Structure formats: C-alpha cells, structure tokens
Amino acid sequence: MPLVRIDLMKGKDDSYRATIGEVGYDAMRATLDVPENDRFQIIAERGATDFIVDRTYLGINRTDDCIVIQVTLNEGRDVVKKRAFYKAVADGRHERFKLRREDVFISLVEVKKENWSFGNGEAQYAPS
C-alpha cells in the first residue's frame, strides 16, 4: 500500500491535480508491482513561502512548476524497479503536461508491512 503525497505550487486546476495523481498511480502499477485499486494519494498546493525547493541542487535547474512526491511503501523493491518508477513518473508527467523532467522530485520512504493499518484498528499485514 503506497501512500503518496504530492506537493506543488498553488495555482493548478482540479484537472491538472487529478492527472498528476493518475500518472503516479499508473507508474506505480507498471514498475513497483502495486495492486489494482491500491490508490491512496494526498495532493496539496502550497504558497511560495511554504514550498521551498532549491533551484539548482545537484546541478538540476528547477522552476515554479516543480512537484515534490513522497511515496511511503513496503520495503523490498530493488534499485532497478525504483529507477524505472522515477523515470516513468518523470516521463509520464512530461508527456501529459510538457512538465520538465527536472521539475519532478521524488522521495521513497520504505517501511515494514506491520507499519500499516487499513482501518478497523488492525495491522492487516502484520505477522500473527
């Protein structure tokens, strides 16, 4: 169960935000073996004083269109899958919006399966 948080600068319409989420979900399904309907996303717009992204860190030039994506997911995927995911997200956003690949910042946070509760106060994936 990935939990995806997407932050972006204020000013995008509902359709843009919805499609940003779709591209990420499609990329997870294609590259990270995420099951169908396993979609939990929080998309938030931030004002300029609350959305601070270095414009040139690591020699990558970023603009106000930069989006920050944090994905919390079960541990265990290899680097090959992670790289494929990063590329699929950047390419998908570029294809759908002409968003610069340089403006896609992604962070993966891996956790053990027992760190999730899908509801009912239970740890559905925790070992018995």
> Looking at the annotation, which residues are catalytic?
2
Which tokens hold the place of 91?
A: 């390419």
How many CB atoms lie under 10 A from the CB of residue 6? 20
Which amino acid type is present at position 29?
A: R
Look at residues 67, 63, 65, 54 and name the one whose alpha carbon lies nearest to residue 23: 67
Which amino acid type is present at position 6?
A: I
8 Å CB contact between 36 and 6: no
Q: CA–CA separation, 111 vs 76, rounded Å?
A: 9
- Kindly provide the residue ranges of all beta strands, DSSP E only, lying in 31-111, ordered along the sequence: 40-46, 67-74, 104-111
